[in-house]
Amino acid sequence: EVQLVESGGGLVQAGGSLRLSCAASGFTSNDYVIGWFRQAPGKEREGVSYISSRDGSTYYRSTVKGRFTISSDNAKSTVHLQMNSLSPEDTALYYCAATYGSGKYVGEYNYWGRGTQVTVSS
């Protein structure tokens, strides 16, 4: 069974940086996608970024493009999300998730971590 464990969340001032990590295990195929999602109080969960194990292709939502960078280590077992120039609007519970599908839609993700809290003060 696929297991995902997030880490790296915390409290940071506006303009600061955080690096989130997602440790993954249990994949039965080498063709999968790992994505980062976030949910702020009173808002729906939204996709932030994802990366494909097949070709390394990545996606970013427009509001984080240029500030966030998703990457994986050589073993493709850990995915990182480097977050720079953080603002209070980035405050949310961040989740790591995985799917054997395209990764374009939240409904495709079958496996989820417990989440890590990111709080950005103004």
Determine contact, residues 70/49, Cβ cutoff 8 Å.
yes
- The pLDDT value recorded for residue 76 is 67
Q: How far is CA 41 from CA 78, 92, 97, 120, in A?
A: 28, 7, 20, 14
Query: Tokens 């999968």 identify what position?
Result: 32
In 3D space, the residue among 40, 41, 34 whose CA is nearest the CA of residue 63 turns out to be: 40
- The pLDDT value recorded for residue 30 is 86
Per-residue pLDDT of the chain (122 residues; tens, 9 = 90+): 999 999 999 999 999 999 999 999 999 998 999 999 999 999 999 999 999 998 899 999 999 999 999 999 867 689 999 999 999 999 999 999 999 999 999 999 999 999 999 999 99
Q: Kindly write down the DSSP assignment for every residue of 26-89, as one continuous string.
A: --SSS--EEEEEEE-TTS--EEEEEEETTT--EEE-TTTBTTEEEEE-TTSSEEEEEE-S--GG
